[in-house]
Amino acid sequence: MANPATLRRLSSFSSQFVRRPSVHHPRPNFAAISKLYSTSPDEVSAPPLTGLKVVDLTRVLAGPFCTQILADYGADVIKVEQPKIGDESRHWKGKAETGKWKADGPISYYFTGVNRNKRSITLDLKKRKALEVLFGLVKNADVFVENLIPGKAEELGFGYKELSKINPKLVYASISGYGPTGPHAKRAGYDAIAAAEGGLMHITGFPGAKPVRPGVGMVDMATGLYMHGAILAALQSRAQTGRGQHITASLFETQISLLINIGVNWLNLGLEGQRVGSAHPSISPYDVFEAKGGQWFAVGANNERQYKILCERLGRMDLLEDPRFKTNAIRVENRKILDGIVNDIIKTKTVDEWMIALEGSGLAHGAVNSIERAFNHPQIEARGMVETLPVKEVESGEIKHIGMPVKFSETKGQIRTRAPLLGEHTAEVLREMGYEEGEIEMMRKEEVT
């Protein structure tokens, strides 16, 4: 519980939901604190979440990915980090980064990938004064996001029940490994473990080979996507009811939900999922084939019309009459034979030649690109999927960011600022909250911040 002194300080902050000025601490205009962090709402192209304030206690990937989406859409996201250490991913530097950074303190390209458009403050939340600052932030916040092991936030004094007393309209979002209830609730959660326990690894890889983790943190990122949508839904609910609420998401539940057709087949038919490489378990042909020169080419026929087109483009119309391949169900049964035939034909031309041969056919097809080739794809420039920010803290003077995949016709999202240095905005945020310079300096000396 907040002590009386803490509550007295909180009463000096003006809630963003109460439209009256404070004598000592005027309510900050969070939408216009700085155009670097939140575009002014009267601008024609202001991002859709302009004016929304988010307090972010998440680390690594799932939570930061969620809050970065909110930040890209215009929210003022204040990332609260542990003094001197910060988010673990700040320290995840590869050899290629050696000598690239001119910044003091921990920073990495991994961290920059999911923390742009945010501000960073440091607080030692085991100290009472730090909790007082956190409570002050929450008093004026719309959203609070954390990814601690369930029960830890309550232990430290900032669980949902505590914070909802300070701000009944707060949307409190919790991300964990397994959810707040159940026998594994207190276990730490990681992307690879969720992929393993949730069945994804079992169905990823080639028959007879060991299970494989996807090349990126799919479970983490999907959880972040789920949570960002849930936060927006909770804000819509608040607009109707005037009340906030506690929403929870977990890596395990996310992965189970992503099983989709594989999961439904097990639940209703008892069919166990299998590793089928790059093929589709329910469609054939639908796979990756080796082309001339050793490059790989992906192509699939999702229905009978597309299968006919594929046979035409392959120059094998006879396959349409072959009883082994008459229907999709039969083709799936004879997948190995059909894939062998298709692969022999694909090997006769290069990927570029097949791209030309299938152009305009209506068939989904494409090269299996390296990361370099992917970022040189013509759609990258056409759709603005790389954006460059000037950044003095790196040797090159700039950082290239992956662009936003969702485009708005009116209220456009923006990549406004680089990922913050550790505690870069601590003093700035404290001033906005009404703290005096002497108080800010004292908190620094006492290692509260």
Detail the DSSP E strand segments found in 90-130.
118-122
Under a CB-based contact definition with an 8 Å cutoff, are residues 265 and 280 in contact? no
Closest CA to 211 of 194, 223, 199: 199
**Rounded-to-integer distance, Cα 75 and Cα 70, Å:** 6
Of the candidates 191, 220, 287, 339, the residue annotated as catalytic is: 220
Concatenated DSSP letters for 245-266? EEEEEEHHHHHHHTTHHHHHHH
Residue 444: CB partners within 8 Å, gap ≥ 6? Answer: none
Residue 59: CB partners within 8 Å, gap ≥ 6? Answer: 81, 87, 88, 89, 147
Under a CB-based contact definition with an 8 Å cutoff, are residues 274 and 261 in contact? no
Vertex 181 angle, CA 177 and 182, to 5°: 90
**Rounded-to-integer distance, Cα 227 and Cα 221, Å:** 10
**Rounded-to-integer distance, Cα 326 and Cα 311, Å:** 12
Under a CB-based contact definition with an 8 Å cutoff, are residues 227 and 68 in contact? no
The SS3 assignment for 406 reads: coil
Residue 183: CB partners within 8 Å, gap ≥ 6? Answer: none
Q: Catalytic annotation on 220?
A: yes
Q: 279 burial class (0-12, 13-18, 19+ CB within 10 angstroms)?
A: buried
**Rounded-to-integer distance, Cα 445 and Cα 12, Å:** 24
**Rounded-to-integer distance, Cα 292 and Cα 313, Å:** 17
Instruction: Provide the 10 A C-beta neighbour count for residue 67.
Output: 29
Q: At residue 245, what are phi and psi to the nearest 5 degrees?
A: -165, 170
The token pair at 223 is: 């959880």
Residue 218: in which H helix or E strand, if any?
helix 218-241
Under a CB-based contact definition with an 8 Å cutoff, are residues 239 and 167 in contact? no
Under a CB-based contact definition with an 8 Å cutoff, are residues 18 and 41 in contact? no
Residues with active-site annotation? 220
